[in-house]
Structure 1
């Protein structure tokens, strides 16, 4: 059965009196907090799209607008996402990082949530936008900064493929298993990384696979049966290659998985959530289902039992340690 378009926002769903506030609030929630200034009082707009693991792809259609992300908006909330935009209709001007780009239908552009930007579309607008967490992209900050607000033609070659893929993902609800979603996200990440200045030659494919593997692990920490074979299959690589990727960072796959589970348990216990819940339930939720094994691992890692951490959490900082060295 064909996939159905996901309609997240439609101004026709609310009364005319509520329309302006409804539209502004939902644009900010769907993308990033910013100034939303319609070109006319008769606001009409619609947002549709789908999600792939941690990546969101949206299509927004509306009357003419000016959108501006200001320093105060960034201080309020920064999801640290790199946006990839396809202009489907109209003419749009985009300002960021000291550059101004003018887009016509079919053109592409990157912009970054972490720095101010402004969009001006005088007449009816139609954008397709992919929002990718920057930590998934194996690109340097310098490459991101040098790649924003630069018009790319989507008429041929790799940009045309990236344009068509983004449009297709925005049109269809993706309900496949997590492994399929990771594979599609991997494809999109690879295409977009290759479009950034200098990254096609500098970015090793292993960096992309490593980040995707870590992303898959984060989303499946609670699965006690998660195995290297599951992770490798989700990233469309062999188990032996997966082990080599983690070994390059001084880790075994099992050691990295164990460390992330322990850190997740630490953060939950130190945060004081669900104080009446058995400590063993926290371990179970983090994929460490044997209570005595969880307690032994936790004490060995953090020098105190999990129950003691919960009792003294007000006096202890969270671990928040990024795994960086061998842990078995």
Structure 2
């Protein structure tokens, strides 16, 4: 397929640029065509590079290579930039990347997903070559509901779906956008699907598992809070409410060094405390408040409130002001 409306591919290199202007012009070309970053080079007079940026629907595919350099996406760069985007970067050489105070070494073909609204830094060796796909947030979130799970994490490009993704990015770089074999939207979906599949491998799988565990823990705690006033509430009942086994419930809580009993006691104590300090419940006896909060035994109620708040229920009520 071809179209006269297809935007032209941008190609630029330093071959015909005066030596003393090469580095500054490179920084400006990157800013205009890809991203605003603060870049340093130890030998600006010997600096050489080439760049190609191709439009591909709502994607932009870039390939940059050349002399060693260090780049940083600073807070000032972010403020001066336009719309947010995610950049999927695949290196053809080894390079270093830093994000969220974590430094990672990326091997050739490894990938990393960058959020342009986050600060990061990179160190690229002499003779480097990186491919970058700029992705609109709505395109990525169509396939990955929470991209933050893998932002700044190494996605291995030497095996599994990461290898397929790395190869696909390389093919996008060499694609003739004036003779598209498929609609750009199809390629967008293909990229999104491969990123999602790659996120299940290696570090991506670990991060997604942690996020899933956190979500499950949140559901368990919320269910406990909603039903904590039920006398005789059990872990099995909460597990049934959210569609998991009691074993899974206990395993999810133990991952955070928590227990069902402790969370239940905390929830009931919070309910009782709110009732004790509210004039709305002044007509209720201490025993009534304990029972309504889920405590079947008045002495246990008293001991729990003293342990948590430093005073027994009656004194908490008297000193609420």
TM-score range with shorter-chain normalisation?
0.5 to 0.7
From 34, 53, 57, give the equivalent of 1:53. Answer: 57
Can you list the C-alpha shifts for 1:110-153, whole angstroms capped at 9, x where unaligned?
11101101001243321011110112112699832231222222
User: What's 1:279 paired with?
Assistant: none
Query: Are the equivalent residues in 2 in contact too, given 1:78–1:114 (CA < 8 A)?
Result: no
Decide which of 144, 147, 153 is 1:144's aligned counterpart: 147
Residue among 71, 88, 92 paired with 1:67: 71
2:92 is aligned to: 88
Q: Could you say what secondary structure the match of 1:169 adopts?
A: helix
Deviation sequence 1:148-185 (CA, Å, 0-9, x none)? 22222211221111111111111232124697122112
Give, in angstroms, the shift of residue 18 of structure 1.
2.3
SS at match of 1:9: strand
Structure 1 position 44 matched with structure 2 position 83:
no
Q: Does 1:189 align with 2:192?
A: yes
Alignment of 1:1-328 (within 5 A): 6=9, 8-41=11-44, 42-89=46-93, 91-138=94-141, 143-176=146-179, 180-196=183-199, 197=204
Note if contact 2:97-2:104 (Cα within 8 Å) is conserved in structure 1: yes
Greater displacement, 16-25 / 139-148: 139-148
SS in 2 for 1:155: coil
Q: Distance in 1 between matches of 2:139 and 2:183?
A: 17
Task: Give, in whole Å, the separation in 1 of the partners of 2:197 and 2:178.
Answer: 27
User: Can you give the 5+ residue segments of structure 2 that lack an aligned partner in the other structure?
Assistant: 2-7, 210-321
- Structure with higher Rg: it is 2
CA distance 1:200–1:136, change in 2 (3 Å): farther
Aligned partners of 2:124 and 2:38: how far apart in 1? 14
Alpha-carbon distance in 2 for matches of 1:82, 1:74 = 13
Question: What RMSD in Å do the two structures reach over aligned CA positions?
Answer: 2.8
Is the 1:49–1:173 contact (alpha carbons within 8 Å) kept by the matching residues of 2? no
Secondary structure of 1:13's aligned partner: coil
Q: Deviations over 1:22-81 (max 9, x none)?
A: 111001222211101123221100112422101011111010110101001101114311
SS of corresponding position for 1:193: helix
Secondary structure (helix, strand or coil) at the match of 1:18 reads helix
Once residues 72 and 49 of structure 1 are traced to their aligned partners in structure 2, the CA distance between those partners, rounded to angstroms, is: 24
Measure, in 2, the Cα distance between the counterparts of 1:20 and 1:173.
28
Q: Is the 8 A contact 1:50 1:169 kept in 2?
A: no
User: Structure 1 residues 144, 169: closer, same or farther in 2, change over 3 A?
Assistant: same
What number of residue pairs does the alignment pair up? 197
Distance 1:37 1:140 in 2: 35
SS of match in other structure, 1:17: helix
1:16 Cα offset (Å): 1.9
Structure 1 partner of 2:285: none
CA distance in 2 between partners of 1:9 and 1:79 (Å): 24
Distance 2:57 2:40 in 1: 31
TM-score scaled to structure 2, two decimals?
A: 0.56
Distance across 2 between alignment mates of 1:161 and 1:179: 18
